[in-house]
Amino acid sequence: MRKPLLPTLLALILCALPAHAGELDAFAGKSGKIDIAGGTAHIPVMKEAAKRIMQKAAGIRITVAGGGSGVGVQKVGEGLVDIGNTGRALTEAEVAKYGLKSYAFAIDGVAAVVNPKNPVSALTHQQVQDIFAGKITNWKQLGGRDAAIHLYTRDEASGTREVFWEIMLKKGQIAPSANVVASNGAMKTALAGDADAVGYVSIGHIDQTIKAPLLNGVAPTQDNAKSGKYPVIRKLYMNTKGEPAGIVASFISYIQGPEGAAITASDGYIPTR
Amino acid sequence: MADALSLSDAGGGTGERGVLALLAGAAGAGALCVAGILGFLAWFSLPLLAPGQLASVLSWTWQPTSGRFGILPMTVGSLLLGSSALTLAYPLGLGLAFFAHGLGPGWAARPLTALVRLMTGVPTVVYGLASAFLLTPLLRAGFEGTSGFSWLAAMLVLALLVLPTIVLVLDGQLRLVLPGLGITAAALGLTPPQTLVRLALPLCGPGLKSAAVLGFGRAVGDTLIPLMLSGNAAQLPHSPLDSLRALTAHIGLVLATDSQSAAYGSLFACGLMLFGVSLAVNLALRGLRRSPAQATVSARPGPGLERAASALAWVSAILVPAAVCSLLGFLLLRGAPTLSPALFFCDTPALDALFRGAPVFDGLWPACLGTLWLVALASALAIPVGIAGGIHLAEFATGRAARLASFCVDLLAGVPSILMGLFGFALILLLRRSFWPSANTCLLLSALCLALLVLPYLVSATHAALAGLPQDLRLTCAALGLTRWQAVSRVLLPAARQGILGGVILAIGRAAEDTAVILLTGVVAGAGRLGTLTDKFEALPFTIYYLAAEHQTPQELDLAFGAALTLLALTLALFALARRLGAGWRPGI
């Protein structure tokens, strides 16, 4: 997978720092379980952290499931999991109803993406809105080849969808004919196999199998997202019901700490740290 | 059967009465399960009866962001998908049955029947995976303006899924009818094709309709194929190349929402809709079973009918094996190179994983172990109850209670598996809010829901195996002075054991392949190693579904194909074993 250079370097440097080698010690000799579900952009980071922690502490079992941000809120709110991930800030209603606490650990952009074979390499904000509203229906209208545009969107539980819809589409309509996929990964798979597709993914998921056209002349990269040049951004959160305790608290500080930041960066996101 | 046994009704002490009560209880459990599931769906749908809510749910727009929760597009989607898959599969099924019964060359009939039997053992998630990476790109390349994920894709694969059901029902009917016709037909100077088309087929009357009804029920009840292939847009499709969303897939996609919202409530309305469909299917089947076969021999002159049947037989015998072999061949081609210890253990030393419980990441071992435990638990829960219920229905039940119990078992067999999952999930939420706040989705819950799913298979298999025993056996037992329970336990059960064992193995195969139930009741994408019964777990079918959709790297997709091959090998082995034991697949006729 091709990764942006800066985060990779950052990751290498952070990994190399001997001072942080002992971060996993917080888990040594501990036991218990942590169930995680929700945002699909979070999964690579969660899985890598789970792997490192479980290899260090045999008594700890961490399970990771996806489902989307909606699932994250629902499951942690109902107490079915310990950490519910969301790719968007919680609403006041959600916080009030379930008593949730949020812990941000990464900044991520959401970009409109196409198949690498698609010659269209730049779009305006307005064009993206018109494509998803179903007003522009052929790539020819955008300077591409003469082929119908295949729309892909996410289900309503998706935080990626919510951020894209609010900021990119300005809460405009998404054509009901759009195919619905269940995760960032599934979106990538669908777009990689369909030369006439357009969809949207977390920038952390962009690799050589899909292509992100410039938006109003700005490349959707994590650097531009960090500097504020690229506007469609969000934070990735872990949420708990009430104050976390025990190994759940340790897990959250591990993800927010230097080693977690290195994992976050190596998965293509910008650590908030 | 019960009549024959009433001779020795007087025998038996309190111990025997206890055993009989237990058996009756087991049969009653089937009825209770149906009542429980229906009750849950109804209870959770109740909020929809509030003013305005019902109109909102029974509308044509699904846009939760603007408060519109119409489920009609999904209802129509399910019906369209089910009926179109059946329309495609039915003639092909008829053609295959013709081919196997004399319209094709004799040497080809056996391998063809074997292929159809093999198809019964292919998990739906495996069909979904192979089609998502073989069929949808082909459709995309072949038709302008479609993404490939469409009504058409889901319909084609669903047709393959329901085809064995149709063929085996028709095949069973023809086997019953044909032997009695041979001499008469020969005496009349009819050729074998004429006998088949003009005499045997009309005699199959209700069987022909049963095949259609069962096929429809199976097509509407499937979750994974629509979820993976139909594109899931909540709209009315204008052409087969458009995307549509089925009710089952809708439940899987939307269960993720806030459990106190109207969207969540609307899911139970979807559940009721699906339940309604399986009820209708069941009532139709019962009606068909009562109506006697009426032979209306087709006397129209001319050889057209035989020629048409022969053409249909040949077309089916070429198309169906070609489709199945290309899907499974593709799977083998993609999956075989991944088979190695690394597929199961990745970089964890195998011995550490096997004996010391070392966690395995990016390998299939935890999923294999999860599936084994899941199947073992579900079997432990379902097998005793299922067999006891089957014994009760076959040997002891009489009157209205018996009819009610067997109706419930049939109905339970038709309930789509996603509803079992929905039931399990809602059960946990209810328990948490009432007297068991620490209840959670877990291995045990999944096993329980899977047990409900396979229970009717076990009851029917046991019932059928006992009912198939010669009547003399029962009379002899009675004449020897055996009590009813002695007759069952010492003579009838041992005589029927192969059929029952076959049913058990079929149930295990069904439990191993189901994805929709565990999707909602505690399966996760990564756990590293197996936990306790109350922990979440990994399982092979879900791993395939998850990796097919969410793989980050080509290696992860390889893992999905490896997992599919592993699961396919497991279920095919189980089905082959069941076949050897002589149970075969028993359609509900």
| ipTM at complex level | 0.83
- Confidence class for position B585, pLDDT limits 50, 70, 90: very low
* Backbone angle region of B233, left / alpha / beta, with phi > 0 → left and psi within -120 to 50 → alpha: beta
Q: Which residues in chain A are contacts of B231 at CB distance < 8 A?
A: 179-180
Give the per-residue pLDDT at A240: 96
Give the per-residue pLDDT at B46: 82
pLDDT digits 0-9 by tens, A83-96: 999 999 999 988 99
Q: Is the per-residue pLDDT at B430 higher than 60?
A: yes
Helix or strand or coil: residue B69? strand
d(CA B259, nearest CA chain A) in Å: 7
**Within 13 A of B547's CA, how many CA atoms are on the CB side?**
28
Cβ distance B525 to A65 less than 8 Å, yes or no, reads: yes
Task: Report how far apart, in Å, the C-alpha atoms of B352 and of each of A31, A250, B258, B404, B555 are.
Answer: 19, 27, 41, 53, 23
Interface test with A, best of B63, B136, B253 (most A CBs within 10 A): B253
Interface of B with A in 288-317 (CB under 8 A): none
Return the residue of A nearest to B442 by Cα: A80
For B13-63, the three-class secondary structure string (H helix, E strand, C coil) is: CHHHHHHHHHHHHHHHHHHHHHHHHHHHHHHHHHHHHCCCHHHHHCCCCEE
Return the residue of A nearest to B529 by Cα: A61
Return the residue of A nearest to B537 by Cα: A63
Task: Give the predicted TM-score (pTM) of the model.
Answer: 0.88
Cβ distance A74 to B263 less than 8 Å, yes or no, reads: no
Q: Is the per-residue pLDDT at B277 higher than 70?
A: yes
Cβ pairs A/B, distance under 8 A: 153
Helical residues (DSSP H) of B336-470, grouped into ranges: 341-345, 350-355, 365-391, 399-414, 417-433, 443-467
- Confidence class for position A138, pLDDT limits 50, 70, 90: very high
Q: Is the per-residue pLDDT at B302 higher than 80?
A: no
Q: Which residues in chain A are contacts of B426 at CB distance < 8 A?
A: none
Q: In this predicted model, which residue has the larger pLDDT, B57 or B261?
A: B57
pLDDT digits 0-9 by tens, B440-463: 899 999 999 999 999 998 998 899
Interface test with B, best of A40, A52, A54, A90 (most B CBs within 10 A): A54
Residue B395 is classified by DSSP as I
Q: Is the per-residue pLDDT at B301 higher than 80?
A: no
Mean pLDDT of B84-89: 96
Give the per-residue pLDDT at B147: 84
pLDDT digits 0-9 by tens, B461-485: 899 889 888 889 999 999 999 998 9
Q: Is the per-residue pLDDT at B579 higher than 90?
A: no
Return the residue of A nearest to B61 by Cα: A176
Cβ distance B552 to A186 less than 8 Å, yes or no, reads: no
Q: Which residues in chain A are contacts of B254 at CB distance < 8 A?
A: 155-157
Q: Is the per-residue pLDDT at B381 higher than 80?
A: yes
Give the per-residue pLDDT at B38: 85
Q: Is the per-residue pLDDT at B199 higher than 60?
A: yes
For chain A, the three-class secondary structure string (H helix, E strand, C coil) is: CCCCHHHHHHHHHHHHCHHHHHHHHHHCCCCEEEEEEECCCCHHHHHHHHHHHHHHCCCEEEEEEEECHHHHHHHHHCCCCCEEEECCCCCHHHHHHHCEEEEEEEEEEEEEEECCCCCCCEECHHHHHHHHHCCCCEHHHHCCCCCECEEEEECCCCHHHHHHHHHHCCCCCCCCCCEEECCHHHHHHHHHCCCCEEEEEEHHHCCCCCECCEECCECCCHHHHHHCCCCCEEEEEEEEECCCCHHHHHHHHHHHCHHHHHHHHHCCCEECC
Q: Is the per-residue pLDDT at B500 higher than 70?
A: yes
pLDDT digits 0-9 by tens, B117-158: 889 889 999 999 999 999 999 998 898 878 889 999 999 999
Q: Which residues in chain B are contacts of A199 at CB distance < 8 A?
A: none
Q: B535 CB near a chain A CB, below 8 Å?
A: yes
Mean pLDDT of B229-252: 92
Cβ distance B528 to A66 less than 8 Å, yes or no, reads: no
Cβ distance A182 to B549 less than 8 Å, yes or no, reads: yes
Return the residue of A nearest to B429 by Cα: A78
- Tell me how far apart the alpha carbons of residues B355 and B353 are, in angstroms, rounded to a whole number: 6
Give the per-residue pLDDT at B207: 80
- Tell me how far apart the alpha carbons of residues A76 and B96 are, in angstroms, rounded to a whole number: 52
Q: Which residues in chain B are contacts of A156 at CB distance < 8 A?
A: 64-65, 254, 257, 263
How high does pLDDT run on average in chain B? 86
Mean pLDDT of B12-28: 84
Give the per-residue pLDDT at B8: 41
Mean pLDDT of B426-443: 88
Q: Which residues in chain B are contacts of A178 at CB distance < 8 A?
A: 233, 243
Sorted by sequence, the CB contacts under 8 Å of residue A21 that are 6+ apart come out as: none
Q: Is the per-residue pLDDT at B298 higher than 80?
A: no
Nearest to A61 among B148, B441, B531 (CB): B531
Give the per-residue pLDDT at A13: 52
- Confidence class for position B297, pLDDT limits 50, 70, 90: low
Amino acid at A73: V
Interface test with A, best of B536, B538, B559 (most A CBs within 10 A): B536
d(CA A215, nearest CA chain B) in Å: 24
Nearest to A179 among B232, B537, B546 (CB): B232
Cβ distance A205 to B552 less than 8 Å, yes or no, reads: yes
Q: Is the per-residue pLDDT at A5 higher than 60?
A: no
Cβ distance B259 to A73 less than 8 Å, yes or no, reads: no
Cβ distance A156 to B242 less than 8 Å, yes or no, reads: no
Interface of B with A in 252-281 (CB under 8 A): 253-254, 256-260, 263
User: H-helix or E-strand containing B531?
Assistant: none
pLDDT digits 0-9 by tens, B532-576: 898 999 999 999 998 888 787 788 889 999 999 999 999 998 888
Nearest to B526 among A64, A79, A194 (CB): A64
pLDDT digits 0-9 by tens, A155-204: 887 889 999 999 999 999 899 889 988 888 889 888 998 999 999 999 98
Q: B8 CB near a chain A CB, below 8 Å?
A: no
Give the per-residue pLDDT at B33: 85
Cβ distance A177 to B550 less than 8 Å, yes or no, reads: no
Q: Which residues in chain A are contacts of B148 at CB distance < 8 A?
A: 193-194
Mean pLDDT of B419-431: 90
d(CA A59, nearest CA chain B) in Å: 10
CA B238, B241, B246: angle at the middle one, nearest 5?
Answer: 75
d(CA B47, nearest CA chain A) in Å: 19
Give the per-residue pLDDT at B376: 93
Nearest to B432 among A33, A78, A182 (CB): A78
Q: Which residues in chain A are contacts of B357 at CB distance < 8 A?
A: 58
Give the per-residue pLDDT at B5: 41
- Tell me how far apart the alpha carbons of residues B458 and B504 are, in angstroms, rounded to a whole number: 6
